[in-house]
Structure 1
């Protein structure tokens, strides 16, 4: 096996939580509010359906092909040629998805803090840090998730705790004034983010125990959805209708904090702690892409590919997204359908063919 490291259930849940939530808490409120308006807090609940469905599919496939990732059992299910083609499509998507995640990170850091720094230097610096973690293996990323994410989560809860005097419950009303459809339309982006739970297939083979993977996968989905609901609701109660005009409402919320005359202007602290969560997310994407590419090429180790793939990610992050405005627009239009097409349909295809082949092989047994 290429990877010798092992992770626990908790580390798997935290890695997947970071993979989904780290950038979702920044971009989801703005993108969702374009369609859902005041009902944006409901949209992640509808989006959770994709997360739950994909976790069930991936766990079922992992039980049919224990110790294998999606790249490996794709060939076993579809045959060598077709399996290689499907796996390549998924890996190319993963490269694009990873590049988008790095670009999202870079755009936020540049917009909020490093205004005059070229974005390639921002993404390049985090890519180098992530490369060190990826070279260390899945255990390194799992330990980072265990240490960093509780700190990041506590920080975001405290932001809205400090803002309780400024929250206006009236901003949530009237609920579903225009019916349920606006919140369903707003769930397009949460559907896309939660479809990334297909990446669990790269982590399940390295669990120390495979018995409770479904439970912890579902727990991670629930935690991700609750975080999105909490962030969307907090922003709505604070900003009301103007939330649809704010690209980074969580960052803007931090600017509102003022406790006495000594605890204020903590947005720099928010960025510093958010980078920890972003580091886990980007390292996870980076690792899965490197591991999957090595498995597709049937190489004995993935470590020699870390730097070349890191360089490719940075190039794609600049090349594939012309501007910040186009990236934001894509999040609410074409990107969700692109994500769901690859991350939902490919696992569904693999599971369907695998089940049919199992039934046919059993029917021929005496």
Structure 2
């Protein structure tokens, strides 16, 4: 399922980037304004903003639930979520350069932590879930898996990052 959805998302990304190449140097808002005027520009801006807000909130909740199940079983979800939200706010404040530097320092520590968590969860592994390869059947994977492409909807942020990078380049 993961491979299938990843291939579909990659194909969609390539199609969108091909369309985007015709508007090189313009952001999504400029393209919306070119296509349909100011109203379409506002609609595109609202859609991207709402999509990003939903993605951030849903992924934050999912990640918090996973961390709670694995490590902080007695802590309330809101308490854990508060720390991740503060981390996001602080990282936005200090910018990408400080994030990169702190990530390079934290990578060995995080890697060791992941190894410890995985090693501690070995007793809960159920290897029989790996078979059969097509799970409940090819229909469930290839047709039922299409809505799961939304997992990669965060790729829209790549267009925003590329635009910011292109506009700040000297």
TM more than 0.5: yes
Residues matched between the structures, number? 161
Distance 1:186 1:147 in 2: 41
Distance 2:21 2:147 in 1: 30
Find the counterpart in structure 1 of residue 35 from structure 2.
77
- 1:98 Cα deviation from its structure 2 partner: 0.9
- 1:95 Cα deviation from its structure 2 partner: 0.9
Structure 1 residue matching 2:88: 3-state secondary structure: helix
Which whole-Å deviations, capped at 9, do the CAs of 1:130-180 have from their partners, x for residues lacking one? 2121122344445556665687678768958xx7xx996x76454448642
- 1:88 Cα deviation from its structure 2 partner: 0.6
Instruction: Kindly indicate whether the alpha-carbon contact (under 8 Å) linking 2:64 and 2:80 is maintained by their aligned counterparts in 1.
Output: yes
Structure 2 residue matching 1:65: 3-state secondary structure: coil
Find the counterpart in structure 2 of residue 87 from structure 1.
45
Which whole-Å deviations, capped at 9, do the CAs of 1:24-47 have from their partners, x for residues lacking one? xxxxxxxxxxxxxxxxxxx11210
Find the counterpart in structure 1 of residue 11 from structure 2.
53
Which whole-Å deviations, capped at 9, do the CAs of 1:329-361 have from their partners, x for residues lacking one? xxxxxxxxxxxxxxxxxxxxxxxxxxxxxxxxx
Structure 2 residue matching 1:117: 3-state secondary structure: coil
Find the counterpart in structure 2 of residue 214 from structure 1.
none
- 1:103 Cα deviation from its structure 2 partner: 1.2
Structure 2 gap ranges (5+): none
Structure 1 residue matching 2:84: 3-state secondary structure: helix
Instruction: Kindly indicate whether the alpha-carbon contact (under 8 Å) linking 1:58 and 1:198 is maintained by their aligned counterparts in 2.
Output: no
Aligned with residue 196 of structure 1, among 129, 154, 157: 154
Structure 2 residue matching 1:79: 3-state secondary structure: helix
Distance change >3 Å, CA 90–CA 181, structure 1 → 2: same
Distance 2:135 2:56 in 1: 38
Instruction: Kindly indicate whether the alpha-carbon contact (under 8 Å) linking 1:133 and 1:141 is maintained by their aligned counterparts in 2.
Output: yes
Is residue 123 of structure 1 aligned with residue 74 of structure 2?
no
Instruction: Kindly indicate whether the alpha-carbon contact (under 8 Å) linking 1:71 and 1:87 is maintained by their aligned counterparts in 2.
Output: yes
Distance 1:86 1:138 in 2: 26
After TM superposition, list the pairs within 5 Å mapping 1:238-257 onto structure 2: none
Structure 1 gap ranges (5+): 1-42, 209-366
Distance change >3 Å, CA 74–CA 148, structure 1 → 2: farther
Which whole-Å deviations, capped at 9, do the CAs of 1:225-279 have from their partners, x for residues lacking one? xxxxxxxxxxxxxxxxxxxxxxxxxxxxxxxxxxxxxxxxxxxxxxxxxxxxxxx
Instruction: Kindly indicate whether the alpha-carbon contact (under 8 Å) linking 1:50 and 1:194 is maintained by their aligned counterparts in 2.
Output: no
Distance change >3 Å, CA 94–CA 153, structure 1 → 2: same
Could you say what the CA RMSD is over the residues aligned between the two structures, in angstroms?
Answer: 3.7
Distance change >3 Å, CA 60–CA 116, structure 1 → 2: same
- 1:69 Cα deviation from its structure 2 partner: 3.4
